[in-house]
Amino acid sequence: MAPAQQDRTAWLLLTPMISIMVLVTAFPLLNTLWLAFTDASLTGQGYVWQWIGLENFAYILDDSDFRAAVGRTTYFTVLSVSAEVVLGVLVALLLNQEFKGRTLVRALLILPWALPTIVNAVMWRLIYNPEYGSLNALLTQIGLLDAYRSWLGDPATAMNMVILADIWKNYPLIALIALAALQTVPKDLYEAAIMDGANAWTRFWKITLPGIIGSLSVAMVLRAIEAFKVFDIFYVMTRGGPADSTKTVSFFVYQESFTYLRAGSGAAYALTVTAMSGLMISIYVVMLVRREKRS
Partner 1 sequence: MNRFFKGAACGLALLIHQSFPAFAEDVTLNAIFMKQAAYSEDDTKAMAKTFEAANPGLKVNLEFVPYEALHDKIVAAQGAGSSGYDVVLFDVIWPPEFATKGFLQDVTARVPKTDRDKVFDGAWTTVDYDGKIWGMPWILDTKYLFYNQDMLKQAGISAPPKTFEELAEQAKIIKDKGIVKFPIVWSWSQAEALICDYTSMVGGAKGSFTQDGKLSFDTGGSVEAVNYMKKTLDDGVTNPNSREYLEEDVRKVFSAGEAAFAMNWTYMFNMANDPKESKVAGKIGIVPAPGFKGKAEASAINGSMGLGISAGSKHPDEAWKFITFMTSQETQNKYAKLSLPIWKSSYDDPAVTKGQEKLIDAAKVSLGVMFARPMTPSYPELSSILQKNIQQVLLGQASTDDAMTAATKAAGRLR
Partner 2 sequence: MRRSLTATILVYVAVALFVASILAPVAWLFIMSISDANDLTTIPLRWIPEQPDFSRYARLFSLEEGSAGLTFLSALRNSVIVAVSATAIALAAGIPAAYSFSRYPGRMPLLYAVIVTYMMPPVVLILPLYKVFSALGLLNNVTSLIIVYCTILLPFVTWLMKSGFDSVPVEIEQAASIDGANLFQILTRITLPVAAASTGAAALFALLLAWDEFFYALLYTSDTRAKTLPVAIADFAAGRATDYGLISAVGLLAALPPVLIGFFLQKSLLSGLSAGSVKG
The nearer residue to partner 2, 20 or 155, going by C-beta atoms, is: 20
Residues 109, 168 contacting (CB under 8 angstroms): no
The nearer residue to partner 1, 70 or 173, going by C-beta atoms, is: 70
Q: Is 51 in the site for partner 1 (CB under 8 A)?
A: no
Question: Please, what sign has the CA dihedral across residues 239, 225, 69, 169?
Answer: positive
Q: Is 130 in the site for partner 1 (CB under 8 A)?
A: yes
Q: Is 128 in the site for partner 2 (CB under 8 A)?
A: no
In sequence order, the 6+-apart residues with CB closer than 8 A to the CB of 14 are none
**Segment 151 to 180, residues that bind partner 1, using CB under 8 A:** 152-155
The nearer residue to partner 2, 9 or 82, going by C-beta atoms, is: 9
Q: Is 70 in the site for partner 2 (CB under 8 A)?
A: no
Among residues 2, 57, 16, the alpha carbon closest in space to that of 267 is found at: 57
**Shortest reach from residue 70's CB to partner 1, in Å:** 17
The nearer residue to partner 1, 173 or 236, going by C-beta atoms, is: 236
* Count of CB atoms situated within 10 Å of the CB of 120: 21
Three-state secondary-structure class, residue 272: helix
- Give which of partner 2, partner 1, none residue 41 binds (C-beta under 5 to 8 Å, depending on kind): partner 1
Among residues 2, 23, 42, 77, the alpha carbon closest in space to that of 280 is found at: 77
- Give which of partner 2, partner 1, none residue 110 binds (C-beta under 5 to 8 Å, depending on kind): partner 2
